Structure 1
């Protein structure tokens, strides 16, 4: 009987001691202030200098200080190298834990098993934070593989001072293709056979792909799964572009392009070109390089004809967890932090990027941290998103663009008429799709 009591007492004491332990759980501090081992995440992006680098490092520091379970390390990877390196790292079984990736190719990486399905970690109302087309671009089937981070939309920047000098009032800003041509010609300065200033040329800083969306009611080279290259509106588009080319002449266009530079040599900043079609994030270039008294405005890409819509194109980036990452749940916690309204607003204030979080953009419209121009940029971006289309590469024809661009080059060189080149492009891409079915 005594032995039994001793045994029970001994077991109870051992259990009590085991329960007390040393006061440490994962992520908690000991009484001496030492922390247990944290989950360490390696975060890759191409933000290597300037305000983007500064603000992302500040945000990472804030995240690390906000909790004691996860430690994020930042790894800058040069633009152009980051995705090649990440693919090699995934293949080697040593990928980063979170990476910034192109928004229009999420489904391709998901299908190739290069990224992690994040659906199990996501709250059901998370998608409500984002512009809907950005959220949809992060899906593969019904599952989420990419969380939108930042984005863009294409617009036209114009020089207000030159517009005033030419007698063009705000109410006369161009809204259609025809009005854009008329306005540009009022802004041209030509002496003899040489242009000293050009009002506008549609292929500077903007590709035919984007104008194709604008021309064809928001439809790019594909309409769902259907190839939509050879359409009447897109034939009209290239007739229109060739008209601009004829107006200025190839020699003038080539001469101007040869003189284009960056910084103060930017043709819009220097006044060499009065209107430019640009990604709206071009504003950050103006902040860095334009004189303090430089006045600019922004208008949507014009409608082909009244009532057809100011359609434009957008891109941007998502946050993904590469396949093989050691702790996807911890990776998603960091992604969720990066896409929160407060953090998105902070990144936007410092970088002038258009953020994927809709509430953050709406807050930036009235942010006291921004100038009136900065607030205006975010307002235009928010308004433009109802007309902004993303064009994820189709899974059955991921490399189709080479076939289209080959024909576009021939159209612009004059070796094929628009209807002929687009018909050939349509057939080539349809054949590619059939081969991959």
Structure 2
């Protein structure tokens, strides 16, 4: 899902209470002093290819035109940037004091902490707020107040190549469910000459995501139930020790997983060179195009299937600067109407974030391959994007957490240093 790999612990009761206050506020005028007409500036990320038929620019412009037809006093000026560019461009706009009215990107917490965003309760009526799936609504909170509106989501499952399983004498209809079964399968795949038995992307593109999936399989996570960092917990140290000793050292992964990016392994999987790896819906689309015979299963855990999986979301938010609160709220409510929201997620093979759109996907047989991902969404673990320190912490994790799994590495030392840096960053951001 492009950059959706970035971000979260990351309920609804708190949202509802805030919403009651928000309903009163919604009666105010959002058009600005002396003006009944509003132009909203929208900056969004491109989930397709810029300039191509699948560019998100086409979706947003069509949606903006339909909205203005219903609301002639509100025009929406659409700008779409690639995922490679949008972070810097949006940050520059905000830093220069010229933020858009609405943005759709992969993070929001810093701007919420700086008081630059409207609360969701100031934008949407209670019924619209209640439509968001609870884990995603909670993932949009900073200090228990929701500022981020989840836009699209994805979860992770285990992928495996059925042809390579048969070649290795493994049951092509039975994915490994525990770490021990995964190790045994990887050993068999290596013996059968498979180039990469298990794809372990601990390079800077996706190290934080792959790491969290493994942590979850052993009862670990990045933060505890109250949001304190637990990067060097005993469970997490044990997880990386297992990876080092049972997959990396025996040569069941690529030689340098700490330098291997996810997309490289996705590409290798679609060429038939990887036996097993964790993936999201985009990998499914890529494998289908290459006619790879693959199966999926739950993430393996230390003693059996992992209880949870990684969930990832991208976000929408509304900036206060131009005072267009009411107009922003109207447009955002329109964005998340079932027909409009479902049109986007179904086009790009992503997961909906509202109850009604999720129910629609469950009934849509054309989207049957997404059902296993959708089934996991309610119980998924999200990055702690609501922590203001997370953006800097995840940047550090991407660069160095892979060192915890290398042959001859010291997981305890690596994770403890990451814990120290995360706590220092958290203290600096919250003091």
Q: How does 1:131-146 map to 2 (within 5 A)?
A: 131-146=133-148
The aligned counterpart of 1:33 is: none
Q: Take 1:77 and 1:392, find their aligned partners in 2: how far apart are those partners?
A: 25
Is the 8 Å Cα contact of residues 100 and 319 (structure 1) preserved in structure 2? yes
Q: Take 1:61 and 1:209, find their aligned partners in 2: how far apart are those partners?
A: 42
Q: Which of 101, 110, 116 in structure 2 is aligned with 1:97?
A: 101
Secondary structure of 1:267 counterpart = helix
1:392 Cα offset (Å): 2.1
The aligned counterpart of 1:381 is: 373
Structure 1, residues 55-82: CA drift from partner, whole Å, max 9, x if none? 3333333333344232222211232432
Q: Which has the larger radius of gyration?
A: 1
Q: How does 1:168-317 map to 2 (within 5 A)?
A: 168-169=170-171, 172-189=174-191, 195-203=193-201, 206-207=206-207, 208-217=210-219, 219-242=221-244, 243-248=246-251, 252-253=255-256, 266-287=267-288, 289-291=289-291, 294-306=292-304, 309-317=306-314
Q: Which has the higher contact order (CA 8 A, sep 6+)?
A: 2
The aligned counterpart of 1:125 is: 127
- Say if 2:352 is the partner of 1:355: yes
Secondary structure of 1:268 counterpart = helix
Structure 1, residues 396-425: CA drift from partner, whole Å, max 9, x if none? 565234555666354345565222333343
Is the 8 Å Cα contact of residues 206 and 278 (structure 1) preserved in structure 2? no
- Say if 2:59 is the partner of 1:55: yes
Structure 1 stretches lacking a partner, 5+ long: 1-25, 27-35
Q: Take 1:347 and 1:259, find their aligned partners in 2: how far apart are those partners?
A: 24
Cα gap change, 1:268 to 1:50, in 2 (>3 Å): farther
Is the 8 Å Cα contact of residues 345 and 360 (structure 1) preserved in structure 2? yes
The aligned counterpart of 1:45 is: 44
Is the 8 Å Cα contact of residues 154 and 313 (structure 1) preserved in structure 2? yes
Secondary structure of 1:361 counterpart = helix
Structure 2 stretches lacking a partner, 5+ long: 1-28, 30-34
Is the 8 Å Cα contact of residues 149 and 357 (structure 1) preserved in structure 2? no
1:149 Cα offset (Å): 0.9
Q: Take 1:141 and 1:329, find their aligned partners in 2: how far apart are those partners?
A: 24
Is the 8 Å Cα contact of residues 222 and 229 (structure 1) preserved in structure 2? no
What is the count of residue pairs matched by the alignment?
A: 386
1:111 Cα offset (Å): 0.9
1:201 Cα offset (Å): 3.0
- Say if 2:388 is the partner of 1:391: no
1:91 Cα offset (Å): 3.9
- The TM-score with structure 2 as length reference comes to 0.78
Secondary structure of 1:347 counterpart = helix
Q: Take 2:300 and 2:375, find their aligned partners in 1: how far apart are those partners?
A: 14
Is the 8 Å Cα contact of residues 152 and 350 (structure 2) preserved in structure 1? yes
Please, which moves more after superposition, 125-134 or 181-190?
A: 181-190
Is the 8 Å Cα contact of residues 348 and 364 (structure 1) preserved in structure 2? no
The aligned counterpart of 1:19 is: none
Cα gap change, 1:170 to 1:249, in 2 (>3 Å): closer
1:273 Cα offset (Å): 0.7
Q: Take 1:88 and 1:136, find their aligned partners in 2: how far apart are those partners?
A: 28
Cα gap change, 1:434 to 1:297, in 2 (>3 Å): same
1:134 Cα offset (Å): 0.8
